[in-house]
C-alpha cells in the first residue's frame, strides 16, 4: 500500500465496517509503525478493491485490518490477498497468525477456517460500536504452506 491508496481504502472501510479506522491510523501504519505491513489488491485498471494490514511482532503476525469491497466479495480476492500476506509474514519469520473477527461475520470466519485458523476464544463486548463479541482465531505453525502456494 502507498499513501495514494489511502482514500480508496477509506472508501472500502466506510462500506465494510460500522467503526472504520480513521485516515490518521493508516498514515501511521504506513509511515511510522515498523511492525506494520499493508497490502492491496487492484484491478487491471488500477482500481483498489481490497486491502489487508498486519503487524509482525517476533514470530507472530496479527491481522490488524482486512476488507474487500462488497462488489468483489466471494470471488477469491480476499482469500488470495490473505494467502499472500501470510506468505510474506512467513518469509519474515512468522510462525503463528492471530486475528479477531466479529461473531456476526460468518463469511470471514468461514474463510479463516478454510485456511486453517482455529477458534481460540472470544471477547464479549469487544466492538464498542455495538458491544458485539469478537471471535479470537489463530493459526499455529503451517504458515510456510502459504509461501509454497503463493509462488
Question: pLDDT, tens digit, for every residue of 52-66?
Answer: 999 999 999 999 999
Domain 3-149 has CATH 3.40.630.30: yes
What is the mean pLDDT of the segment spanning 43-48? Answer: 95
Q: Structure pTM?
A: 0.90
Domain range annotation of the chain: 3-149
The alpha helices in 1-151, defined as continuous H runs, are 6-16, 23-31, 77-91, 106-114, 144-149
Contact 147, 89 (CB under 8 A): no
The reported pLDDT for the residue numbered 151 is 45
CA–CA gap between residue 100 and residue 65 (Å, rounded) = 10
- The residues with which 55 forms a beta bridge, in sequence order, are 36, 62
Burial of 38 (0-12, 13-18, 19+ CB in 10 A): buried
Please measure the distance between the N-terminal and C-terminal CA atoms of the chain and give it in whole angstroms.
20
Chain segment 64-82, per-residue pLDDT in tens: 999 999 999 999 999 999 9
Amino acid at each position: 500500500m502507498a499513501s495514494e491508496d489511502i482514500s480508496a481504502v477509506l472508501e472500502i472501510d466506510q462500506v465494510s465496517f460500522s467503526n472504520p479506522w480513521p485516515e490518521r491510523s493508516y498514515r501511521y501504519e504506513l509511515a511510522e509503525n515498523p511492525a506494520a505491513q499493508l497490502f492491496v489488491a487492484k484491478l487491471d485498471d488500477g482500481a483498489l478493491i481490497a486491502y489487508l494490514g498486519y503487524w509482525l511482532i517476533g514470530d507472530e503476525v496479527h491481522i490488524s485490518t482486512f476488507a474487500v469491497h462488497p462488489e468483489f466479495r466471494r470471488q477469491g480476492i480476499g482469500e488470495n490477498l490473505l494467502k499472500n500476506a501470510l506468505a510474506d509474514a512467513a518469509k519474515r519469520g512468522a510462525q503463528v497468525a492471530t486475528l479477531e473477527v466479529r461473531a456476526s461475520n460468518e463469511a470471514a470466519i468461514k474463510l479463516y477456517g478454510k485456511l486453517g485458523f482455529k477458534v481460540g476464544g472470544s471477547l464479549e463486548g469487544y466492538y464498542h460500536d455495538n458491544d458485539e463479541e469478537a471471535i479470537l482465531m489463530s493459526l499455529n505453525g503451517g504458515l510456510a504452506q502459504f509461501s509454497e502456494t503463493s509462488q
